[in-house]
Structure 1
Amino acid sequence: MRGGNAGRRPTLRDIADAVGVSTALVSFALNDRAGVSAETKAQILAEASRLGYRTDPVARALRTGQSRLFGVVVRNLQNPYFLDVVGGMQEAAVAAGAGIVVADADYSANLEAHHVETFAAYRFDGLAVAPVGTGAAIAQWQDLRPDVPAVVLNASVPGLDDVARVSPDNATAVRLAVEHLAQLGHRRLGFLTAPAELMADYDRLEAFLALTAERDLESRPIETPLNLRAVHDLVGRALVGSEAPSAFITNSDFTAHAVYTAVRQQGLRVGHDVSVVGHDDLATSELLDPPLTTIQLDVRALGRAAFARLWGAGSSRTHLEPVRLVARGSTGPPPS
């Protein structure tokens, strides 16, 4: 180790002895608190750098009651969308001098509860959850860490009106997809949604049912576990028969991939026989054959907005990320 302290970690006392000040003054300088002259602070910081001093985060957490760590529990990390959400949160956390720890619930309420309990035990300073189902994870967090912030990601769970919410503008997203398909002439629309017991974004389904009823369109909600195999199988079954939907609205570009494979397995063509609308505009979506019509939004901005609310810098409790429809080759008029 540098500075003659080989074999042990530099301490506040080492810095204080080298500069000729008290350990309290060293602590004030390192924590950017008032009461230290600019010249003395510069000397302390220079000596800390020379010695290779690093703040002990555990000791700081015990002293201040703050860990500067924030938990993120996601219901499905297989979906690349959530990687971009995490990327935006990480960007904001690093800028604030904090860190995030990410856990995947894999659509398991038990695993989700385990992650929340673990983060609470380590006294994390906040929690963001893209919940499984009814939002039990938020209630669990509030019980274990009362008065510590929580943010709900991509969910509109009843009974959690007192919790900050960060989400795409789901009502607008569904409206844009339905209107686009209706303008192309589609009358029978399939809509992918999680099973009721796992559904966290019920507002999407409500918007779809209301919009199709208003326009006298046939609605076919398809409840499916949101993994590629399940979506492929259930969409494949929905495509059989004379009453099959001529278009599908998916909850993500991730699941849209499975719709493509199901359509092809039935000997049909995406964009000609069956139209598909995704959600998220992943980087790979315009590379599909045909390129995917989808709902576009700034996912990393959504992640930054989520961290801002954990950090206490959000301008409002609710943030709905703006969306727009990007029309590509996966949608066209229904077959005559």
Structure 2
Amino acid sequence: MADVGNGRRPPTLQDLADAVGMTANTVSRALNDKSGVSATTRALIKAEAERLGYVPNIHARSLVLGSRKTIGVIVSNISNPFFADLVSEVELQAQQAGYTVLLLLSYESAERERDAIGRALRSGLDGLIAAPVQERSDAWTPVIKAGIPLVLVSRELPELGVDFYSADNEAGIQLTTDFVLAQGAKDVVLVDEDMPFSTIRLRSEGFRRSLERHGLPFDPRQQLALVPPARAFRVSQSWQADDAYRVVSDLLDRGRRPDAFVVGDDYYALGLYRALTERGLSIPGDVMVMGWGNHPFTRFMAPPLSTLLLPFQEVASRATRRLLDRIGGTADDRVVTERILPELVLRASTAR
């Protein structure tokens, strides 16, 4: 039993039977709530199954029949453009390798994430790519115990010890902040979402480091404008321009007049533009604005928005190739962590 449930070999029905000292038939009947098994025995078997990470039903049968040639993808919401691009690239790469993709959504809910993980396990997937909610890493323990290859993207859970691929959020925000500072900005504000994600934490840290490297103080009460996550669990776009509009309008109405904004998403820049122009401030004459994401609408804004091109296609491609290598048994033993540098796209909103 030493190699069971630790990522080397998924536990089998016989492993579970051996662990509880009963026959495989008794264990199977207990797991499927069949008659002839006492409530005490059934509870004992189910508790041991959870401890071992034993996954019955479809996944267990797939271990006997062989690969189902299916990859699962768990992300928060495909109305998020980043995840939409990522899922599209994973599907393309998987299809070329002969795999289909099962998409499951968490909507930034830990409860829905657990449900998605359970459905993925019951579906007998060969592997999973996921952007976790990041509330509790133990939700992913059943995946690890079942020996199912898991690759994380965008949001990190280092304690799981699995492969991870992401855009380099800390370096990216330093690129945007360094640029507006080089253009003469002295007072810069970061507009980002108020959520406990590693991506947001890294952007805040990179922003702070950029200011300090240029000899400027960092006061989160003055330099951070956080957008409340009121829409985080809705099916619609999480980053609403009107939320950023309200936050920036309040900041400006309190007398703050920064000479540059950098944002955590291009959608925030839409609301930011309106808040500035309503108060007679010109872009970039009075205030420079730097985006994040290079969404298609940015070049049609007035003025066109300088922004950051995120390498999500490359992130998805590398993550999918790594997962397929894990599934095929050709991956090396090391745990890979890769953060890929974004690229500045310069337009008129920062031209001075």
The alignment's TM-score, normalised by the length of structure 1, stands at 0.72
In 2, the alpha carbon distance for the partners of 1:274 and 1:221 equals 16
Where does residue 260 of structure 1 map in the other structure? 273
Larger radius of gyration: 1
In 1, the alpha carbon distance for the partners of 2:132 and 2:86 equals 14
Whether 1:331 and 2:344 are equivalent positions in the alignment is: no
Deviation at 1:169, TM superposition (A): 1.9
In 2, the alpha carbon distance for the partners of 1:272 and 1:261 equals 15
Where does residue 34 of structure 1 map in the other structure? none
Deviation at 1:218, TM superposition (A): 4.7
The one-letter amino acid of 2:314's match is A
In 1, the alpha carbon distance for the partners of 2:318 and 2:71 equals 14
Alpha-carbon distance change, 231 to 133 in structure 1, aligned in 2, over 3 angstroms: farther
SS of equivalent residue, structure 1 residue 166: strand
In 1, the alpha carbon distance for the partners of 2:77 and 2:262 equals 19
Deviation per residue, 1:7-65 (Å, 9 max, x gap): xxxxxxxxxxxxxxxxxxxxxxxxxxxxxxxxxxxxxxxxxxxxxxxxxx999835335
Where does residue 170 of structure 2 map in the other structure? 171
In 1, the alpha carbon distance for the partners of 2:134 and 2:226 equals 13
Alpha-carbon distance change, 241 to 332 in structure 1, aligned in 2, over 3 angstroms: farther
The one-letter amino acid of 2:266's match is D
Where does residue 149 of structure 2 map in the other structure? 149
In 2, the alpha carbon distance for the partners of 1:258 and 1:190 equals 15
In 2, the alpha carbon distance for the partners of 1:307 and 1:100 equals 11
Deviation at 1:284, TM superposition (A): 2.6
State how 1:1-336 maps to structure 2 within 5 Å. Answer: 61=62, 63-134=64-135, 136=136, 138-146=137-145, 147-157=147-157, 159-160=159-160, 162-198=161-197, 200-219=199-218, 220-224=223-227, 225=229, 227-228=239-240, 229-312=242-325, 317-333=336-352
Judge conservation of contact 2:59–2:121 (CA < 8 Å) in 1: no
In 2, the alpha carbon distance for the partners of 1:301 and 1:245 equals 35
In 1, the alpha carbon distance for the partners of 2:286 and 2:65 equals 62
Judge conservation of contact 1:58–1:67 (CA < 8 Å) in 2: no
Where does residue 27 of structure 2 map in the other structure? none
Alpha-carbon distance change, 305 to 332 in structure 1, aligned in 2, over 3 angstroms: same
In 2, the alpha carbon distance for the partners of 1:266 and 1:117 equals 51
Alpha-carbon distance change, 117 to 186 in structure 1, aligned in 2, over 3 angstroms: same
In 2, the alpha carbon distance for the partners of 1:188 and 1:211 equals 12
In 1, the alpha carbon distance for the partners of 2:132 and 2:141 equals 14
Deviation per residue, 1:211-252 (Å, 9 max, x gap): 212323354122222521322221222222433332222222
Deviation at 1:304, TM superposition (A): 1.1
Deviation per residue, 1:75-128 (Å, 9 max, x gap): 242222221111111111001111222233333222222222221221222222
For structure 2, the 5+ residue unaligned runs are 1-57, 230-237
The one-letter amino acid of 1:246's match is D
Say how many residue pairs are matched.
Answer: 274
Deviation at 1:325, TM superposition (A): 1.0
SS of equivalent residue, structure 2 residue 350: coil
Where does residue 49 of structure 1 map in the other structure? none
In 2, the alpha carbon distance for the partners of 1:327 and 1:131 equals 32
The one-letter amino acid of 2:340's match is E
Judge conservation of contact 2:128–2:151 (CA < 8 Å) in 1: yes
For structure 1, the 5+ residue unaligned runs are 1-56
In 2, the alpha carbon distance for the partners of 1:282 and 1:107 equals 22
Deviation at 1:308, TM superposition (A): 1.4
In 2, the alpha carbon distance for the partners of 1:188 and 1:259 equals 16
Deviation per residue, 1:297-336 (Å, 9 max, x gap): 4422221112112212678712222322111011145xxx
Judge conservation of contact 2:168–2:340 (CA < 8 Å) in 1: yes
Deviation at 1:181, TM superposition (A): 0.7
Judge conservation of contact 1:117–1:141 (CA < 8 Å) in 2: no
SS of equivalent residue, structure 2 residue 165: strand
The one-letter amino acid of 2:80's match is N
